[in-house]
Amino acid sequence: MKRMLINATQPEELRVALVEGQKLYDFDIEVPSREQKKANIYKGIITRIEPSLEAAFVNYGAERHGFLPFKEIALSYFSKPLDPEQSRSEIKDLIHEGQEVVVQIEKEERGNKGAALTTYIALAGSYLVLMPNNPRAGGISRRIEGEARGDLREIVASLNIPEGMGLIVRTAAGGKTAEELQWDLNYLLQLWEAIERSAKSRPAPFLIFQESNVIIRALRDHLRADIDEILIDNPATYRMVR
């Protein structure tokens, strides 16, 4: 029996555990009093370019500026196409200080280090992850094997994926129909359109999209037919989940 256990009685921490029988196979903790920024999307502005680090620093609204490696800058931000023979350090000539960029947080701030950023946005749905500006990204979860993997590959080929976008198929997509996956994709495309509209609405820096808390993420990422039971120890959290 697979169960999702949500512990929310202590205001200091939210805990979500996934167990199969007596075996724990996933566990996540969130501290509500500590602002969680991972996967949040911001409109930021490049404040400094450091060729020696092959990175730029971005003001996205936090006290400490974020760290954006050159390899995490999408081609659309370059002033001209990147020559294949150019080294990565030469990207400094294709971007500039004061340039606005839409970034997503990959790693939270740690100690005196700013957050690690990327311009390759990833939007997670129930069954899919949309990479709206990274056509090279994509694939099917390694946990899906055999015939089910082949079936999903055919379904994904039938989806209406806009040109220039990538798609990752999550484990939860196993056994789902083309209609269910297209519905999830349509939701993510609408979300991306809303993010683009928001990014154009005013100057940087500001928060565009905030990732859900640990409980909502767990339901989105793990709630599927093979979860037999969800146990919640807090009435207010139970009402929210319902």
Phi, psi of 156 (to 5 degrees): -60, -40
137-174 pLDDT, tens digit each: 889 988 888 888 999 999 999 999 999 999 999 988 88
In CATH, what number does 122-202 get?
A: 3.30.230.10
55-93 pLDDT, tens digit each: 999 999 999 999 999 999 999 999 988 776 666 667 888
Q: Could you give the CA distance from residue 188 to residue 14 in angstroms, rounded to a whole number?
A: 27
CA distances from 83 to 49, 52, 74 (A): 20, 20, 14
Q: Could you give the CA distance from residue 191 to residue 187 in angstroms, rounded to a whole number?
A: 6
Q: Where in the chain is the domain with CATH 2.40.50.140?
A: 41-120
Q: Where in the chain is the domain with CATH 3.30.420?
A: 1-33+213-242
pTM, rounded to two decimals: 0.82
CATH 2.60.40, applies to 1-33+213-242 = no
227 CB burial (10 A radius; 0-12, 13-18, 19+): middle
Q: Could you give the CA distance from residue 92 to residue 99 in angstroms, rounded to a whole number?
A: 12
Fold (CATH) for 41-120? OB fold (Dihydrolipoamide Acetyltransferase, E2P) (2.40.50)
